[in-house]
């Protein structure tokens, strides 16, 4: 379970990858790469999330981080 998006930012590629992990506890990690280099890792604890809400939570977290990063990069380029 996870998400992967990539967009071109100038001459570099921005890749945002969100993965679900079960051990040691349920969590998601979103890794941000720019030009192939790891720039940032965001972690969210999902231990109290109901099973039926996991994919929606992963999707929402991923999309929120993707939107924040793209908006920030757009502001920097102006």
pLDDT tens profile 38-53: 999 999 999 999 999 9
Model pTM?
0.84
pLDDT at 5: 92
Could you give the CA distance from residue 76 to residue 78 in angstroms, rounded to a whole number?
Answer: 6
Rounded mean pLDDT of the chain? 91
Query: How far is 54 from 24, CA to CA, in rounded Å?
Result: 16
Q: Is residue 77 part of a domain?
A: no
Range of the domain at 37: 2-72
Instruction: Domain count for the chain, please give it.
Output: 1
Say if 36 falls within a structural domain: yes
Residue 37 within a domain: yes
Return the structure tokens found at 40: 């940032």
Query: Is the confidence at residue 60, as pLDDT, over 80?
Result: yes
Does residue 35 belong to any structural domain of this protein? yes
């Amino acid at each position: 379970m996870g998400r992967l998006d990539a967009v071109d930012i100038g001459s570099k590629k921005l890749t945002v990858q969100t993965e679900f992990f079960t051990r040691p506890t349920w969590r998601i990690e979103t890794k941000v790469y720019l030009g192939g280099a790891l720039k940032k890792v965001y972690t969210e604890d999902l231990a109290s999330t109901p099973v039926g809400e996991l994919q929606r939570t992963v999707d929402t977290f991923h999309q929120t981080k993707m939107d924040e990063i793209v908006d920030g990069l757009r502001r920097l380029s102006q």
